[in-house]
Amino acid sequence: MKSFRYARAFWAALVGVALIGSATLARADIKDYEFQLVDQTVKMGDAIVSVRLVHKPDGKPVSDAVIFAKRLDMAPDGMETMMTKIEPMPSTEAGVYRFKAAVTMEGSWRLSLAAKVQGETGTVESKLIIKAQQ
């Protein structure tokens, strides 16, 4: 009978430690993620813009993020209202997200992105500058 009580107490303690341990596991901070341009320049016309989402502490690419906001405008050149449509495209490389955009003018374009990373709370937001050339 005593051994049964000790076994129950042992299992209860083990479950308690497991619950406390899982509650205090260090989760990554959303600031540990960032988008990076694959190419700094694009050609005018139908351009393909590629960005990589990385986990900064280890440099590993992050796949399966959900990008829910995207915008491409000419704010760096003082023309924030000059914007273009941007559409997602398939990618063959892990952690790389590709977009097709109609880049109509030479100059600096700002790519604004917002994404959710699976298993993390918060939103990864980035504003990247791309140069468009003829």
The fourth-level CATH superfamily of domain 30-133 is: Immunoglobulins (2.60.40.10)
For residue 81, the SS3 value is: strand
pTM value is 0.76
pLDDT by residue, tens only, the chain of 134 residues: 555 455 565 555 544 444 444 433 444 689 999 999 999 999 999 999 999 999 999 999 999 999 999 999 999 999 999 999 999 999 999 999 999 999 999 999 999 999 999 999 999 999 999 999 99
Give the closest residue to 78 by CA, choosing from 99, 103, 107.
Answer: 107
Residue with tokens 């491409």: 72
For residue 49, the SS3 value is: strand
Beta bridge partners of 133: 43
- Given a contact cutoff of 8 angstroms between Cβ atoms, the answer to whether 64 and 116 are in contact is no
- Given a contact cutoff of 8 angstroms between Cβ atoms, the answer to whether 72 and 83 are in contact is yes
Rounded Cα distance, 51 and 128, in Å: 9
